[in-house]
Structure 1
Amino acid sequence: MSGEAPAARRGHDEDVEDPVAYFLEDMAYHGKSERTREAYGRVLRDFEAFLTEFDAAPADADRRDCLAWVHELRGDHAESTVATYASYLNRFYGYMTQVGAFDGNPMALVMQEMDEAIDTDPARREVSVERMREFVAGVTHPLERAVVVTLLKTGLRVGELCNLDVRDLALDAPAVESAYDVGTRAQLDGKPDTLFVDPDVSRGAVTNGEERTASNKRKRATLVPIDGELKRALVAWLAIRPDAPSPAEPLFVSTRDAWGKRLTPEMVRSVVRRHAEDAGWYREGGDAAENVTPHYFRHFFTTHLRDRTGDRGVVKYLRGDVADDIIDTYTHNWGDRVREVYSEHIYSLT
């Protein structure tokens, strides 16, 4: 076998289908341990998932995308951990550039900036709760309002929201319970006014009788409380929800050209973009740190709920990105801890 890397032998015109898998495979060829490869894999897949919220991929990410990801890491990790994760991404880009699979390394300058403490906090738009209330007040269509309020009050990723089925919603509302088979998941027994987020939903796989077009980006099941505000938005939406042709009974379906079909991430991004443009929060050509998108709502949820509770564990549980020990603690103590903290501190949007 030639010592030249496979990507270089194929030539740059033929793209690597899965750059992360390719890089990890080459790490194995270079004798890196399984533990090291798993650590890199977790970080690189997290970065990849971050980019999907903006319809981007590692091969076309730029410096600002990388910097926004580093900024998000700072909300959940110590600086030493952030530096380690950043170095993983830098090595990934450096290697993929060297073998000819990528055009350049957008992390090179980010690493220099981090080392020199220059621009470590990207100019992500910061929206107060008061201003977000004004934004939500302008979203009047029941579907769009339910989608926006759900994103803002749960921290769900856009794909996770689109994958919700009626069975994933336990709602203590007689009008809804008489019209829909809500909350039929075993995990929702005895947990009214709760959303269940299933980690076992992936793009291209059939779940609940329907092939999915988006993946859920969490490894553990999550139970997310529904407060009175979100409950009212969901009840108003379900009162007009069209019948769906899918046997999965999607929770959110289109009321436009794709009448009755499950919302896609692209549809949700379009809705949020339209309202964000009206509010002056979205600019054509703006980057991930400037424009308000569904992913920004996840940032808003994380920032404001964490600041109000001072409890990173609960927020990380609700986001679906925590370690096993925290998951076990809060899942077993659901009624007494997570819901209590959430209900006491969740912000009002009306």
Structure 2
Amino acid sequence: MGASAPVADDPDDPVGYFLQDLVYHGKTDRTRDAYERVLRRFESFLVDPERNPSGRAVEPADATHRHCMAWIHSLRGDVAGSTVATYAAYLHRFYAYMTQVGVFDANPMALVVEELDESVDKDPTRREITIPAMREFVAAFSHPLHRALVVTLLKTGMRVGELCNLDLRDLALSNPEVSAAYDLGGRSQLDGRPDSLYVAAEPSVGATVNGEERTASNKRKRGTVIPVDDELTRVLVRWLAIRPDALSPAEPLFVGTSEGWGERITPKTVRGVVERKAREFGWHRTGGGASENVTPHYFRHFFTTHLRDRTGDRGVVKYLRGDVADDIIDTYTHSWGDSVREAYEANVYSLLPTQYTE
């Protein structure tokens, strides 16, 4: 929902006020009902002195971050972890909106969601690979396509399906030679954003997007503009210099160079490229699980861990991973992409060996 001008309303039923505004903003009855179930459940928690941490009935306008955390804690064991995260997002949106329109003075969920990030927490059981070791791994790929696939995954944290769904229109590069050879950056989301990738939210298996039926899905909550740094530019330019003509009118960014010549690359192919090299490094074995084997999904873990540790900012990583839904009103604004680029370029790790040349 877009920003609204502050109002002087002091509704007796703030939850009902919010739900009515959802109707005004064109939300479906199903969406409204989902919010009502969650918010009324939270409201019942607040008015029960035996459950909330105050020991007395509390109105939503007077709830603190401790009340919100206590309620979220009460959900664990009762609903699935993903549902806990969804409920927290609903409550955050409620408070953010009510604060934005001037009904509430503050959003107690802002601090809570900063700490509550079920999707990007470190997984302590994962194999830990240092940046120098990963740099050696990248150096072992000599084929321009294979190196471009691996570096793109490592530099962006995108999923393998999202990588395969990229089209030329999703990439904007300021390199004049490449721009002259290819029609890049046709997405409106890339206007004024040179050297960027756009990862959409909508492609799904079986859907026709950009004139081609897709065989892989994107799973992010929102479309995301991701910066392309100098290293990723170099490997993409080298790949585009040898890229075969695509068979699809969608003009996939990555296409086959042996079997499936000119056809969109598939997740199976990408996994095979990574697995073969990971086996050489002793990072993959038959029967090994997620805690041991290095796969394309491991690169998402690597990206999350190292970039978050370097920036100290969960928000940047959440944005780049596409973990923030469009309809959640919080600290993300239209200028967020600029601050993300600055934070990303200042902190992203180097992956290319010094002897690497185009």
Same fold (TM over 0.5): yes
Superposed, 1:216-227 pairs within 5 Å as 216-227=218-229
Instruction: Please name the residue that 2:303 is paired with.
Output: 301
Runs of 4+ with >2 A deviation? 33-39, 78-92, 120-123, 323-331
Instruction: Please name the residue that 2:209 is paired with.
Output: 207
Instruction: Please name the residue that 1:260 is paired with.
Output: 262
Counterpart of 1:273, as a letter, is E
Shift of 1:273: 0.4
Q: 1:333 aligned to 2:338?
A: no
Residues 37-80 of structure 1, C-alpha deviation per residue, up to 9 Å, x if partnerless?
999xxxxxxxxxxxxxxxxxxxxxxxxxxxxxxxxxxxxxx999
Instruction: Give, in whole Å, the separation in 2 of the partners of 1:269 and 1:241.
Output: 20
Identify unmatched segments of 5+ residues in structure 1: 1-32, 40-77, 93-119
Paired residue secondary structure (1:161): helix
CA contact (8 A) 1:313 1:326 kept: no
Instruction: Please name the residue that 1:191 is paired with.
Output: 193
Percentage of identical aligned residues: 65
Residues 93-131 of structure 1, C-alpha deviation per residue, up to 9 Å, x if partnerless?
xxxxxxxxxxxxxxxxxxxxxxxxxxx965310001111
Shift of 1:157: 0.3
CA contact (8 A) 1:317 1:326 kept: no
Residues 119-152 of structure 1, C-alpha deviation per residue, up to 9 Å, x if partnerless?
x965310001111001111011100000000000
Counterpart of 2:144, as a letter, is P
Instruction: Please name the residue that 1:72 is paired with.
Output: none
CA contact (8 A) 1:170 1:182 kept: yes
Paired residue secondary structure (1:290): coil
Instruction: Give, in whole Å, the separation in 1 of the partners of 2:82 and 2:227.
Output: 40
Counterpart of 1:151, as a letter, is L
CA contact (8 A) 2:190 2:198 kept: yes
Shift of 1:329: 4.4
Paired residue secondary structure (1:164): coil
Q: CA RMSD of the aligned region, Å?
A: 2.8
TM-score relative to the length of structure 1: 0.67
Instruction: Give, in whole Å, the separation in 1 of the partners of 2:70 and 2:282.
Output: 33
Shift of 1:256: 1.5
Counterpart of 1:299, as a letter, is H
Q: 1:175 aligned to 2:177?
A: yes
Q: Which has the higher helix share?
A: 1
Residues 268-322 of structure 1, C-alpha deviation per residue, up to 9 Å, x if partnerless?
1011101111111001000111100000000000000000000100100000012
Counterpart of 1:339, as a letter, is R
Instruction: Give, in whole Å, the separation in 2 of the partners of 1:89 and 1:306.
Output: 26
Instruction: Give, in whole Å, the separation in 2 of the partners of 1:157 and 1:261.
Output: 19
Shift of 1:88: 3.5
Instruction: Give, in whole Å, the separation in 2 of the partners of 1:290 and 1:147.
Output: 21
Paired residue secondary structure (1:332): coil
Paired residue secondary structure (1:130): helix
Q: 1:329 to 1:181 in 2, by over 3 A?
A: farther
Instruction: Give, in whole Å, the separation in 1 of the partners of 2:82 and 2:187.
Output: 43
Residues 319-340 of structure 1, C-alpha deviation per residue, up to 9 Å, x if partnerless?
0012447787445114541000
| Number of aligned residue pairs | 253
CA contact (8 A) 2:222 2:325 kept: no
Instruction: Please name the residue that 1:156 is paired with.
Output: 158
Instruction: Please name the residue that 1:276 is paired with.
Output: 278
CA contact (8 A) 1:222 1:318 kept: yes
Shift of 1:91: 12
Instruction: Please name the residue that 1:314 is paired with.
Output: 316
CA contact (8 A) 2:172 2:195 kept: yes
Q: 1:230 to 1:286 in 2, by over 3 A?
A: same
Q: 1:176 to 1:83 in 2, by over 3 A?
A: farther
Counterpart of 1:250, as a letter, is P
Counterpart of 1:233, as a letter, is V
Superposed, 1:16-27 pairs within 5 Å as none
Q: Which has the larger radius of gyration?
A: 2
Superposed, 1:19-98 pairs within 5 Å as 34=34, 88-89=79-80
Superposed, 1:118-133 pairs within 5 Å as 123-133=125-135
Counterpart of 2:167, as a letter, is D
Instruction: Give, in whole Å, the separation in 2 of the partners of 1:167 and 1:312.
Output: 29
CA contact (8 A) 1:151 1:298 kept: yes
Instruction: Give, in whole Å, the separation in 1 of the partners of 2:74 and 2:297.
Output: 23
Shift of 1:258: 0.6
Paired residue secondary structure (1:223): strand
